């Protein structure tokens, strides 16, 4: 089986040449495009998630030989979460080669975090099945690059940190209020306000509610810690 020019270019971007090209094709095929004669990437995504987790756990242990489990866990979560996988996918233009059904195409599936993240994990699994663990490990370390070395010592997500800050001071959990939603359904933009019981608040704008909530929480954390 030969790969299309677009898929050959993608292989070059991620730095891996497939012995079994059908694995790459399957890893990039969303369920909306599957049929009795065409496999989708769901099973590969399941496997890739585990391969990614093992590689990241090893990398973090090697990076800091004195870090405790409590320090490593939030760093690990920051590196393997869906948003990070989607960011990596965008950097290597995975969306351009994602195979989607008509409904997902119309709803902007090539830009959706969930679809990009799942496909990125499926590509990792495809490399693992094609060449074994070492090529998959090398791929992850290459694609994640400086993220591994630059992950914050305390990488807990901002919402968790803000909630812990409030609870430590006897306050109820922060509120997150959707102020505005703009743009078409396939590319919405959310404005979210993070609000503490004492009245302090900050807003943020992002293409998903979760991202906007995290950004608003981060801004509010920085304000209360000034």
Report the catalytic residues: 49, 121
Distance CA 148, CA 209 (A): 26
Which pair of tokens denotes residue 181? Answer: 């939603």
Handedness of CA 57, 120, 103, 38 (dihedral sign): negative
Which pair of tokens denotes residue 57? Answer: 């756990």
Q: SS in 3 state form for 109-165? A: HHHCHHHHHHHHHHHHHHHHHHHCHHHHHHHHHHHHCHHHHHCCCCCCCHHHHHHHH
Q: Which residues contact 86 (CB under 8 A, 6 or more apart)?
A: 113, 114, 116, 117, 120
Residues forming a β-bridge with 118: none
Angle CA 16–21–27, to nearest 5: 80
Q: What totals of helices (H) and strands (E) does the chain contain, helices first?
A: 11, 3
Answer yes or no: are the C-beta atoms of 156 and 71 closer than 8 Å. Answer: no
Which pair of tokens denotes residue 34? Answer: 């599957």
């Amino acid at each position: 089986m030969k790969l299309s020019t677009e898929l050959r270019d993608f292989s070059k971007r991620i730095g891996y040449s497939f012995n079994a090209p059908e694995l790459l094709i399957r890893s990039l095929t969303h369920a909306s495009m599957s049929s009795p004669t065409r496999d989708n990437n769901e099973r590969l995504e399941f496997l890739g998630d585990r391969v990614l987790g093992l590689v990241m756990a090893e990398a973090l242990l090697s990076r800091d030989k004195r870090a405790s489990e409590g320090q490593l866990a939030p760093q690990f979560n920051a590196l393997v979460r869906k948003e990070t996988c989607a960011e990596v996918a965008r950097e290597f233009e995975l969306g351009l080669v994602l195979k989607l059904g008509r409904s997902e195409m119309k709803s902007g599936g090539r830009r959706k975090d969930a679809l990009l993240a799942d496909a990125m994990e499926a590509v990792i699994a495809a490399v693992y099945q094609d060449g074994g663990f070492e090529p998959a490990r090398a791929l992850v370390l290459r694609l994640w690059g400086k993220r591994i070395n630059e992950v914050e010592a305390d990488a807990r997500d901002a919402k968790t940190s803000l909630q812990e800050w409030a609870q430590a001071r006897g306050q109820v959990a922060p509120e997150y209020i959707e102020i505005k939603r703009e743009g078409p359904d396939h590319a919405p933009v959310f404005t979210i306000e993070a609000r503490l019981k004492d009245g302090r608040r900050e807003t943020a704008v992002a293409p998903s509610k979760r991202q906007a909530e995290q950004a608003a929480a981060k801004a509010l954390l920085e304000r209360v810690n000034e």
